[in-house]
Amino acid sequence: MLPLHNKQKEMAYKNTIAIIGASYTLGTIIAIGISNVDNRLLLMDEGRLPQLVKLRNEIFALKSATEIELLHCCKGASWEADIIIVAVDSTKQIDIAAKIKEVSTCKVVIFFTSSANNGNEMQKLLPHSKVINVSISGSIKNVASMHAIVNGKDLQALQITIEMIKKIGFNYQNKI
């Protein structure tokens, strides 16, 4: 009989994480940063399949055992996901929120932005989701110099987001 802690490892739940905007710089940093965790990644970027293929190959070159699927539709990626990360320019985030609204109910939705924002607008657009806003500052060329301010109301979603931020390597500050 296996000790209990080994059984728990075998039965650990594997999250499916959609990264919308995966082929852009911030999305790529996030994808690579969380690829060493036992999750399934859904990389999505409309019209940027060659960049997504390059990112997938880069992650596999790091000897990551992460399952990766490339998708072209944010609604489809969000429907399959447990956690949705939106790493697109803030001008496109409202459009993305409208597209994923009906499939993001009860899911953690993390919006990464370069502007200071408490996430209230996105929470209003996705009232049945656990919305977290992560404001990023610092040099995108050096992950360790980047700072993340994490805002949100759902404690479990905040904890999930903070764990991801740590894995990626950002410095962070939590504002509840």
Query: Average pLDDT in the 20-25 region?
Result: 91
pTM: 0.86
pLDDT at 118: 52
Query: Average pLDDT in the 43-50 region?
Result: 86
Residue 176 pLDDT class (50, 70, 90 cuts): low
pLDDT at residue 4 greater than cutoff 60 = no
pLDDT per residue as tens digits for the range 103-138:
999 999 999 887 665 557 888 888 899 999 998 887
pLDDT at residue 2 greater than cutoff 50 = no
In what order do the strands lie in the sheet containing 171-175?
67-71, 40-44, 16-20, 83-86, 108-113, 130-137, 147-152, 171-175
Torsion angle defined by CA atoms of residues 121, 175, 108 and 50, in that order, rounded to the nearest 10 degrees = 80
Structural domains in the chain plus CATH codes: 14-175 (3.40.50.720)
Question: At 96, which helix (H) or strand (E)?
Answer: helix 90-100
Token duo for residue 115? 């502007």
Q: Identify the residue with better confidence: 18 or 141.
A: 18
Specify which of 18-22, 35-39, 63-67, 168-172 reaches the highest per-range mean pLDDT.
18-22
pLDDT at 54: 94
Q: Identify the residue with better confidence: 12 or 69.
A: 69
pLDDT per residue as tens digits for the range 56-89:
999 988 877 678 999 889 998 999 999 999 998 8
